[in-house]
Structure 1
Amino acid sequence: MAGELSELMRRVCVNEAEDEVVGYEGEIDNGSNNGFDKTLVGRIHSDRPYNFQRMKKALSAAWRPRRPITFKELDSNMFLVHIDHYVDLKRVLEDGPWSFERNLVVLKPIEKDEQPTESDMSKVSFWICLLNMPLIRRNKTWVRRIAGKLGEVMDVDDTYFENRSKHIRAKVMINILNPLCRFVNVMNLQNEKIRVYIQYEKLPNYCYWCV
């Protein structure tokens, strides 16, 4: 069977169009991206199929947009969502992560001239709380050092250092293809190892050991 297929492919004539490339000849790039600056590519972080219509209703209800938003279903649990109002777009990106039926929803702005299904959907920003942090280490420098063990530190919450909160919080961009970190070891002044435990906010179904 394999030999017959090879012989058949050998006999197929190559169409000359396959060697040509359709370019941008004569086009002027005026900086317009046809609204893609307000379009996000999304993915349901699960291998199981999901109900696209139910997902649209759930996310629309959670986001409460000022103007209508439109969804377009793609392959491999992925989708596009166009958010017409920049205030809505900013809130969707900053107030996450979002979830649907306890599965993480990964969202990111689509890059100009990018194929949505080839987008890197491996990173999500989480707000985390640092628990059991040694008193002597409770400053922004050490918060960034400890949180930086999990990923890129996007922000550190000022409310604890302004005596307006009991929680030490940081926003970290985390690679969700790796197991979640449960704690970070820190040395105190007595050269003793202390575990600083990580609490993830808005954490949906997610295994600490595997994905």
Structure 2
Amino acid sequence: MDGSTEAAPAEVSASKEIAYHEDVEAMMASLGISEKDLDDVVFEEEVEQSQVDNRWMVVGRVHTDTEFSHFWFFKNMRSAWDLAKDVKIRVIDDNRFIFHFACLGDWEKVMVGGPWVFRGKSVLMAPYDGFSKPSSIELNKVMMWIQIHDLPDGYKGMVKTLASKVGDFVAQEKPSTDMVGNFYRVRVKINVRKQPKSVVSIIRAQKRELFLVKYERIPD
């Protein structure tokens, strides 16, 4: 095990609250405005939120700096997803979009499936709550399957920890006697800004062992 610990939910919430206030203060400073210049509209949570249909929403972008046709992007995605119902797509800027699915099944198919690609480039997606600024949503991870090869049975309890060295662990496929090849198959979210790992390693009795990592349907 790597000995790392996760922050408690209260600590994470507090850190997000601090970051939010810092962002607001920085924006006010850049615009040269103060509290007295503002005339806030108060959002009544119980009343107003019931009027918003923010279910099954996703914000996404294509991982490229090259311009592309929105028409062909939408057409290709609809074809690749093969949804039960139509999806509404709203353009936020040149390379950021909000997808509003018509049912939970379609939303889950898109969020759990993939990796989705457009012209060889990753389509990065994240759940959207309908209240956050779309520009504030980080879009730098792609979900995909990896294979950890030649891992002895004695280490099978460490598959999740090893996969977490490659990306954010999502799920592990149960080993199958029908599976061809000696590997464990794991679903992870990989940061597209980092170089993909080609191996994971274990140190046992002061001896390091390396295990090959292979990626399924890796985009450009």
Relative to structure 2, which stretch is displaced further, 125-134 or 25-34? 25-34
- Written as runs of structure 1 = structure 2, the 5 A alignment for 1:186-197 is 186-187=202-203, 192-197=207-212
Match of 1:147 among 163, 169, 178: 163
* Cα deviation, residue 73, structure 1: 1.6
1:185 aligns with 2:201: yes
Which structure has greater helix proportion? Answer: 2
- Written as runs of structure 1 = structure 2, the 5 A alignment for 1:1-211 is 19-24=37-42, 28-29=46-47, 31-32=49-50, 34-137=52-155, 139=156, 141-158=157-174, 160=175, 162-166=176-180, 167-187=183-203, 192-205=207-220
Once the two structures are superposed, what CA deviation does each residue of 1:113-140 show, in whole Å capped at 9, x if it has no partner?
1011221112222211112323532x2x
Q: Which amino acid aligns with 1:103?
A: K
Matched residues in 1 for 2:199 and 2:86: separation? 41
Once the two structures are superposed, what CA deviation does each residue of 1:13-54 show, in whole Å capped at 9, x if it has no partner?
x99998123322667446437222222101100111111100
Matched residues in 1 for 2:139 and 2:43: separation? 32
Report the CA distance shift for 1:174/1:33 in structure 2 as closer, same or farther (over 3 A).
farther
**TM-score, normalised on structure 2?**
0.75
Unaligned regions of 5+ residues in structure 2, if any? 1-31
Identity of aligned residues (%): 22
Q: Computing the radius of gyration over CA atoms, which structure comes out larger, 1 or 2?
A: 1
Where 1:61 maps in the other structure, the secondary structure is helix
Where 2:78 maps in the other structure, the secondary structure is helix
CA contact (8 A) 1:127 1:201 kept: yes
Matched residues in 1 for 2:114 and 2:96: separation? 17
Report the CA distance shift for 1:56/1:164 in structure 2 as closer, same or farther (over 3 A).
same
**TM-score, normalised on structure 1?**
0.78
Where 1:40 maps in the other structure, the secondary structure is strand
Where 1:55 maps in the other structure, the secondary structure is helix
CA contact (8 A) 1:75 1:117 kept: no
CA contact (8 A) 2:89 2:99 kept: yes
CA contact (8 A) 1:37 1:109 kept: no
Matched residues in 2 for 1:77 and 1:155: separation? 29
Unaligned regions of 5+ residues in structure 1, if any? 1-13, 206-211
CA contact (8 A) 1:128 1:200 kept: yes
CA RMSD of aligned residues (A): 2.7
CA contact (8 A) 2:57 2:130 kept: no
Once the two structures are superposed, what CA deviation does each residue of 1:80-135 show, in whole Å capped at 9, x if it has no partner?
11111211111111112200000000011112410112211122222111123235
